[in-house]
Amino acid sequence: MPHQCLAVAYCLYGQARHLEEGATNILASLSRMQPRPCRPVDFYVHSWRPQLNEAYFRSDWTGGEQIRESAPPHDLAQQLVKLFNPISMHLDKPYQFQQNVDSLRDTPAFPAAAPAAVKHMANTISSVYSRWRVMVLLREAVSLRSLHYDLVFASRFDFINPLTLDLAALNPARIYASNLHRVYGRLLLPPDCVVTGLPLFLKLFNMYPRLRSIASNTTLHAQMKAVNEPPIIAVLEALLTMQAFTLVPFGQALEDLVVYTDAIPNYMTEAQRKARANISHSGSGRPASFAFLSSRIQ
């Protein structure tokens, strides 16, 4: 049977950590999942302009330890074009999102009782903004150029573990995410790579302008609590899961919309992160924010 070719878009967002290593894996994974002579995957990119002497630091969600990682190349824009040849790309000047944090302090989902979450909430909003911004790039290109896509991937730049999805078997009316938390009996969506159809993607990644709405929606918070998950907007897993709840058709459950699969692995295990930071491994391999979310609602 001939291989079914699909029109695929791939959105990259956030800090361009481990850029070449991530690009090597992403491109190789796509080549295996959608071999030639299929239409090439179209890339869309949002990141932050490199600053003089800037270095990326690992998030200290896991215990307060800041580890100097890779620095972005000074010619980041040129490197992104060379690696991905994006249809559309935008690099923003680095921005602190503290005003956004302060604007949400009066909402029910603001984690006032969790100082660690409040401390890192600006980073979460920055990540949400980058996801939204790359979604806007894709939406504009689709509208202006009359493009069509069967599937949309969205991930961080440093996704270094192979993706092994069968693209022809995917349903664009569902959201595919890692089963990283599901194997522990949880419904949280790991935020580092998702795959879905274009209409769902445009809604799922529209979180940034809806932050206050999500943080104030007590019905949505009750849905999270009903599956024993904390409705805390400071944590990407919880925020993405709440956004997914808003897309569940009436009368259906979250698992009717979301497919949790091991074909989307963790983007980089704790051991891999520490190896790249040249320090010894003592972690579990779970994502950084898992430590904060480890206590479920009872």
pLDDT interval class at 295 (50, 70, 90):
very low
Q: What is the spatial distance between Cα 53 and Cα 95, in angstroms, rounded to a whole number?
A: 17
pLDDT interval class at 35 (50, 70, 90):
confident
Lowest pLDDT segment from 127-131, 208-212, 272-276: 272-276
Mean pLDDT score, 62-76: 61
Adjacent-strand bridge partners of 8: 151
Helix (H) or strand (E) holding 12: strand 8-13
Is residue 245 within 8 Å of 223, Cβ to Cβ? yes
Residues 6+ apart with CB under 8 A from 174: 196, 200, 257, 258, 259
Q: What is the spatial distance between Cα 193 and Cα 214, in angstroms, rounded to a whole number?
A: 21
Mean pLDDT score, 157-175: 95
Q: What is the pLDDT of residue 60?
A: 46
Q: What is the pLDDT of residue 53?
A: 52
pLDDT interval class at 278 (50, 70, 90):
low
Which comes out higher in pLDDT, residue 74 or 142? Answer: 142
Pairing of strands 88-92, 193-196: unpaired
Average pLDDT of the chain, as a whole number: 85
Is residue 94 within 8 Å of 48, Cβ to Cβ? yes
Give the pTM.
0.88
Tokens found for residue 97: 């999102």
Mean pLDDT score, 267-286: 54
Q: What is the pLDDT of residue 38?
A: 82
pLDDT interval class at 280 (50, 70, 90):
very low
Of residues 195, 196, 87, 194, the one with CA closest to residue 142? 87
pLDDT interval class at 73 (50, 70, 90):
confident
Cα–Cα distances (Å) from 22 to 15, 157, 205, 234, in that order, read: 12, 6, 21, 26
Mean pLDDT score, 151-177: 96
Percent of the chain with pLDDT over 90: 69
Is residue 125 within 8 Å of 101, Cβ to Cβ? yes
- Helix (H), strand (E) counts: the chain: 12, 7
Of residues 280, 265, 36, 275, the one with CA closest to residue 160? 265
